[in-house]
Amino acid sequence: MAANESLSTFNLRNREGKNKSAINAVNGNHVKGTSEKLRMSKKSTTSSLSDAFFMSWSTGDAVDLVKYHPIPCVFGLALLFFMGVEYTLFMIPPSSPPFDLGFVLTKPIHHLLSTKPFLNTVFAALNTVFVGMQTSYILWTWLVEGRPRATIATLFMFTCRGILGYSTQLPLPQGFLGSGVDFPVGNVSFFLFFSGHVAGSVIASIDMRRMKRWEMAWGFDALNVLQVVRLLGTRGHYTIDLAVGLGAGILFDSLAGKYEDTKIGKGLKG
Range of weakest confidence among 13-27, 80-94, 110-124, 128-142: 13-27
Non-local CB neighbours of 123 within 8 Å, separated by 6+ positions:
113, 230, 234
pLDDT of residue 138: 97
Non-local CB neighbours of 224 within 8 Å, separated by 6+ positions:
198, 201, 202, 205
Return the CA Rg of the chain: 35
Range of weakest confidence among 14-18, 43-47, 180-184, 219-223: 14-18
pLDDT of residue 3: 45
Q: Are 83 and 90 in contact (CB under 8 A)?
A: no
Measured distance CA(268)–CA(270) in Å, rounded: 6
List phi, psi (to 5°) of 92. -70, 125
Non-local CB neighbours of 152 within 8 Å, separated by 6+ positions:
256, 259, 260
Measured distance CA(198)–CA(131) in Å, rounded: 9
Q: What is the dihedral of CA 259, 262, 263, 268, to 10 degrees?
A: 30
Measured distance CA(69)–CA(32) in Å, rounded: 51
pLDDT of residue 34: 53
Mean pLDDT of 24-35: 49
Measured distance CA(102)–CA(242) in Å, rounded: 10
Query: Tell me, what DSSP letter sits at residue 175?
Result: T
List, for residues 67-110, the tens digit of each pLDDT value.
Answer: 899 999 999 999 999 999 989 988 889 888 899 999 999 999 99
For residue 26, count other CB atoms closer than 10 A to its CB: 10
The catalytic residues are 197, 237, 241
Three-state secondary-structure class, residue 166: helix
20 confidence band (pLDDT: 50, 70, 90): low
Alpha helices by DSSP H, 51-100: 59-68, 70-88
Query: Tell me, what DSSP letter sits at residue 193?
Result: S
Three-state secondary-structure class, residue 82: helix
Q: Are 227 and 128 in contact (CB under 8 A)?
A: no
Please state the domain extents for the chain: 60-88, 101-268
Q: Are 114 and 241 in contact (CB under 8 A)?
A: no
pTM reported for the whole predicted model: 0.75
